[in-house]
């Protein structure tokens, strides 16, 4: 029997032929691109673009969007080019039991190059996710711009960047760097909320080594220019470094488990057998008697959070401070803490940027923030001054002043000078401030204060060292101890270290329904948003 039938207006196919055509078309697209590239990647232990989606979504089950989309370019041989799924698979499914949207670039299909309709698919995925209120995960693995499409590629980038910006603060966005991501396209993962980079295969750069050499004459390897060390350690653009594709996707799932699906929801609470009032006796001895002797703040974090689980972000950058996620009695919280083991926990330019960005993300997605404070101040000196420590440090002040989520500060030891605000205090917006008996809270340390206030007296004294020691002790006893701050209401309670977990959980219970309407200003004036020092 013929596969064709006639009707008064023309000729059409029978259903069997239509169904077979669909099946053949799907099979051709599902085979993906260059088989040699697919085999090479497989031998190297990398997943292909579709396998990555299967690993991400629960049970490997996802619904693809835009499978049949094709480019429309005819120049430079593009009329003969076959690019399955336009080099990127866009899909939705469930991750950790909740809906999510993802796109996965396919390096086997014309090297995953970004052209007009490749960009259209990624842009649509983000718009779709934003409208439905789902988080989005982008898997980047592309040689960069598809130059054959000229202005169409250029404009597609702009539409993608605009979509990302409009979705920012509405839905969480996570970028996975699983292969190369070079050229203008490199802005795309950096503009998302979190970037997870595979250690050996992920490369991110505004230009590759060949382009760098051509344009400015610098000779540099791909590894030195844009590997994980360039971004996780130096530039502070990569949040988490992983060993391979699977660990990268696993970390994305871990992050998503802390986040609400969108800015209208609360983060998901999880059952735990860890008692909310559990005493942590080891903390009573963790702070050294010497005020400037370091201790590991990560031990404090793991001791007080649920089940000792802390997912640190930006671990390799600005190591004097720590950011990350944990839970208290099942509630997700953001942790912002000093690390005395590294430069005394000081806040420098990079630390300020790291903290401000993290605080704003938590605030946008209704995640309470707990700070653990031991900081002698902002970094001083000519290099920091000339590089803009005031401008960068002010980002923390903007972030705290505008934050609306529950804010809890635990002052463990030093809380001096600008760091008093940068690490969160009452005056900048904290709901609760608790201090350990070891806390030292004042404008500057006693040594510094004595050298200024009593400089003349010390200089003219017969026994300068004796007078200096006496005055330092006097200032310390008068101002540095936490009771002066408590007397002024700057500290809500001075607590034993072993009760820290109990007090944090009680504060979170009380603040569970804290609500500050967006755009609220205590002085009742209308404004769009603050002009943050970028």
| Phi then psi dihedrals of residue 148, to 5 deg | -60, -15
DSSP string, 360-422: HHHHHTT--EEEEEEE--B--SHHHHHHTHHHHHHHHHHHHHH--S-EEEEEEEEEETTHHHH
DSSP assignment letter at 343: G
Of 306, 285, 274, nearest to 497 by C-alpha is 285
Known catalytic residues? 183-184, 418-419
Q: How many alpha carbons fall within 13 Å on the CB side of residue 22?
A: 7
| Phi then psi dihedrals of residue 242, to 5 deg | -130, 165
Per-residue pLDDT, 445: 66
Q: What is the C-alpha separation between 370 and 333, in angstroms, rounded?
A: 7
Per-residue pLDDT, 446: 63
CA torsion sign, 416 to 417 to 421 to 427? positive
DSSP string, 263-309: TTSPPPP----S-TT---GGGGGTS-SSTT----HHHHHHHHSGGG-
Strand partners, 139: 104, 176
Strand partners, 5: 12
At 256, list the tokens: 């998503």
DSSP assignment letter at 259: S
| Phi then psi dihedrals of residue 423, to 5 deg | -100, 0
DSSP assignment letter at 231: I
Q: What is the C-alpha separation between 369 and 129, in angstroms, rounded?
A: 26
Burial 392-420 (b: 16+ CB within 10 A, else e): bbbbbbbbbebbebbbbbbbbbbbbbbbb
Q: How many alpha carbons fall within 13 Å on the CB side of residue 106?
A: 26
DSSP assignment letter at 197: E
User: Token pair 């979509």 is at which residue?
Assistant: 163
DSSP assignment letter at 332: E
Computed on alpha carbons and rounded to an integer, the radius of gyration of the chain in Å comes to 28
Task: Report whether 121 contacts 156 (CB < 8 A).
Answer: no
The backbone region for 308, taken as left when phi is positive above 0, alpha when psi lies in -120 to 50, beta otherwise, is left
- Comma-separated ranges of CATH 3.90.226.10 domains in the chain: 44-258, 281-439+481-510
The architecture that CATH gives domain 44-258 is Alpha-Beta Complex (3.90)
Of 260, 280, 277, 278, nearest to 269 by C-alpha is 260
Task: Report whether 16 contacts 55 (CB < 8 A).
Answer: no
At 403, list the tokens: 């934050």
| Phi then psi dihedrals of residue 113, to 5 deg | -65, 150
Q: What is the C-alpha separation between 326 and 304, in angstroms, rounded?
A: 10
Q: What is the C-alpha separation between 526 and 521, in angstroms, rounded?
A: 8
The architecture that CATH gives domain 281-439+481-510 is Alpha-Beta Complex (3.90)
Q: What is the C-alpha separation between 153 and 159, in angstroms, rounded?
A: 10
Strand partners, 255: none
Task: Report whether 125 contacts 101 (CB < 8 A).
Answer: yes
Task: Report whether 399 contacts 430 (CB < 8 A).
Answer: no
Tell me the three state secondary structure of residue 83: coil
User: Per residue of the chain (534 residues), what is the pLDDT tens digit?
Assistant: 467 677 776 777 787 888 888 999 999 999 988 899 999 999 988 999 999 999 999 999 999 999 999 999 888 988 888 899 999 999 999 999 999 999 999 999 998 998 999 999 999 999 999 999 999 999 999 988 888 889 998 999 999 999 999 999 999 999 999 999 988 889 999 999 999 999 999 999 988 888 889 899 999 999 999 999 999 999 999 999 999 999 999 999 999 999 999 999 999 999 999 999 999 999 999 999 888 899 999 999 999 999 999 999 999 999 999 999 999 999 999 999 999 999 999 999 999 999 999 999 999 999 999 999 999 899 999 999 999 999 999 999 999 999 999 999 999 999 988 889 999 999 999 999 999 999 998 876 667 766 667 767 777 777 877 777 777 777 777 677 889 889 999 999 999 999 999 999 999 999 999 977 766 666 667 777 788 888
Per-residue pLDDT, 524: 65
* Helix (H) or strand (E) run with residue 359 in it: helix 349-364
Strand partners, 129: none
Quote helix, strand, coil % in the chain, to nearest 5.
45, 20, 35
């Amino acid at each position: 029997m013929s596969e064709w039938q006639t009707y008064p207006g023309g000729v059409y196919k029978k259903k069997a032929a239509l169904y077979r055509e669909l099946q053949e078309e799907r099979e051709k697209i599902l085979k993906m691109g260059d088989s040699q590239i697919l085999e090479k990647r497989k031998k190297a232990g990398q997943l292909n673009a579709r396998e990555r989606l299967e690993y991400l979504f629960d049970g490997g089950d996802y619904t693809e969007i835009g499978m049949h989309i094709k480019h429309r370019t005819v120049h430079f041989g593009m009329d003969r080019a076959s690019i399955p799924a336009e080099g990127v698979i866009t899909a939705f499914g469930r991750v950790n039991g909740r809906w999510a949207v993802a796109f996965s670039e396919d390096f086997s299909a014309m090297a995953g190059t970004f052209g007009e309709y490749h960009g259209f698919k990624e842009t649509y995925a983000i718009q779709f996710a934003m409208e439905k209120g789902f988080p989005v995960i982008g898997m980047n693995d592309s040689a960069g711009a598809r130059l054959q499409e000229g202005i169409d590629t250029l404009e597609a980038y702009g539409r993608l960047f605009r979509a990302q910006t409009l979705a920012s603060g509405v839905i969480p966005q996570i970028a996975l760097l699983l292969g190369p991501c070079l050229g203008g396209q490199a802005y795309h993962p950096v503009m998302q909320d979190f970037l997870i980079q595979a250690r050996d295969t992920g490369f991110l750069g505004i230009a590759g080594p060949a382009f760098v050499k051509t344009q400015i004459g610098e000779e540099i390897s791909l590894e030195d220019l844009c590997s994980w060390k360039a971004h996780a350690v130096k530039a502070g653009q990569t949040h988490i470094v992983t060993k391979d594709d699977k660990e990268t996707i696993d970390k994305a799932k871990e992050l998503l488990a802390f986040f609400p699906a969108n800015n209208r929801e609360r983060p998901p609470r999880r059952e735990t057998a860890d008692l909310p009032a559990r005493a942590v006796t080891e903390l009573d001895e963790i702070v050294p008697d010497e005020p400037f002797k370091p201790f590991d703040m990560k031990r404090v974090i793991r001791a007080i959070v649920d089940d000792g689980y802390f997912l640190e972000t930006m671990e390799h950058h600005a190591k004097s401070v720590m950011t990350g996620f944990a839970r208290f009695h099942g509630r997700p919280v953001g942790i912002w803490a000093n690390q005395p083991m590294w430069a005394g926990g000081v806040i420098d330019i990079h630390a300020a940027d790291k903290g401000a960005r993290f605080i704003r993300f938590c605030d946008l997605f209704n995640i309470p923030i707990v700070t653990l404070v031991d900081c002698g101040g902002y970094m001083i000196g000519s290099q920091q001054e000339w590089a803009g420590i005031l401008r960068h440090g002010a980002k923390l002040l903007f972030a705290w002043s505008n934050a609306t989520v529950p804010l809890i500060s635990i002052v463990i030891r030093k809380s001096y000078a600008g760091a008093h605000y940068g690490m969160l205090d009452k005056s900048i917006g904290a709901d609760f401030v608790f201090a350990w008996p070891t806390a030292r809270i004042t404008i500057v340390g006693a040594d510094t204060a004595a050298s200024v206030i009593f400089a003349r007296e010390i200089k003219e004294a017969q026994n300068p060292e004796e007078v200096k020691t006496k005055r330092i002790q006097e200032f310390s006893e008068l101002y540095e101890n936490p009771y002066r701050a408590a007397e002024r209401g700057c500290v809500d309670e001075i607590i034993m270290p072993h009760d820290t977990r109990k007090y944090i959980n009680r504060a979170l219970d009380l603040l569970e329904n804290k609500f500050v309407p967006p755009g609220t200003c205590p002085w009742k004036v209308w404004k769009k948003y603050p002009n943050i020092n970028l």
